[in-house]
């Protein structure tokens, strides 16, 4: 049985009060949702709140999930994003979600940035990701960390694919700029053996 149908059945049973079904659904999707919320908000406590509220809302308003439109994973990421936006607004930081509307072309360069993102080798990487503007950060996290497609990210953020590409471009350029001293000083990463490209958009 496809996973999407399994998710639907679990959600139906959870909505009818089946705690075992809810726990299975929660355990299946909790970690990616938490990871996404944490990388957006930079706070374990806030990420836990977002994750909890996502699943609570899912069970209480299960009719809002329409399987024909998106997978449950995509739906949960969109819900997490909306809750994260609320945290930004409550903190008076909603203006930071504004972005430039230009859309530069994407270029893929050989460098160790992908490995750094995959392994988060240092505090510098985490700090650099967290310092990106929120829209750029969420695009990077969903694309590089959660391995979602451009179209999935566009659906989650209710944006055009071209806008997602532009955000990814700016995020990558920002990271390269911030991490340049660290990258150039890391002999292991620059040895030539570990240099890989970022996932091509």
* Interval 44-59: pLDDT, tens: 888 899 999 999 888 8
Sequence-separated (6 or more) residues with CB below 8 Å from residue 71: 4, 7
pLDDT averaged over every residue in the chain: 76
* Same fold flag, 3-93 and 103-185: no
Spans of all domains in the chain: 3-93, 103-185
Among residues 164, 146, 138, the alpha carbon closest in space to that of 73 is found at: 146
Helix, coil or strand: residue 144:
helix
CATH classification of 103-185 is 1.10.10.10, yes or no?
A: yes
Alpha carbons 179 and 171: distance in angstroms, whole number? 12
**Cα end-to-end distance, the chain, whole Å:** 30
> 10 Å Cβ neighbour count for 84?
21
Q: Looking at 18-22, 94-98, 139-143, which range is the least confident one?
A: 94-98
Candidate CATH numbers 3.40.190.10, 3.40.1410.10, 2.40.50.180, 1.10.1740.10; the one for domain 3-93: 1.10.1740.10
Confidence at residue 102, expressed as pLDDT on a 0 to 100 scale? 39
22 pLDDT above the threshold of 50: yes
Query: Residue 97 pLDDT > 60, yes or no?
Result: no
- The tally of CA atoms less than 13 A away on the side-chain side of residue 162 is 6
Average pLDDT over residues 117-121: 53
Local confidence band at 195 (pLDDT 50, 70, 90 cut-offs):
very low
Confirm if 77 and 55 have CB atoms less than 8 A apart: no
């Amino acid at each position: 049985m496809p996973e999407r149908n399994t998710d639907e059945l679990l959600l139906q049973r959870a909505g009818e009060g089946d705690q075992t079904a809810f726990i299975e659904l929660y355990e299946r999707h909790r970690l990616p949702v938490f990871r996404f919320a944490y990388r957006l908000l930079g706070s374990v406590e806030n990420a836990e709140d977002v994750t909890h509220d996502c699943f609570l809302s899912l069970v209480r308003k299960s009719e809002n999930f329409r399987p024909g439109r998106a997978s449950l994973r995509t739906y949960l990421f969109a819900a997490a994003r909306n809750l994260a936006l609320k945290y930004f607004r409550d903190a008076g930081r909603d203006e930071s979600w504004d972005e430039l509307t230009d859309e530069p072309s994407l270029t893929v360069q050989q460098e160790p940035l992908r490995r750094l993102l995959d392994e988060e080798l240092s505090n510098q990487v985490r700090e650099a990701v967290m310092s990106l503007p929120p829209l750029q950060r969420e695009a990077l996290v969903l694309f590089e960390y959660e391995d979602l497609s451009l179209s999935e990210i566009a659906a989650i953020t209710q944006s055009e694919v071209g806008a997602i590409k532009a955000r990814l471009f700016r995020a990558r350029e920002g990271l390269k700029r911030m991490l340049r001293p660290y990258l150039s000083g890391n002999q292991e990463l620059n040895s030539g053996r570990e240099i890989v490209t970022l996932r091509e958009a």
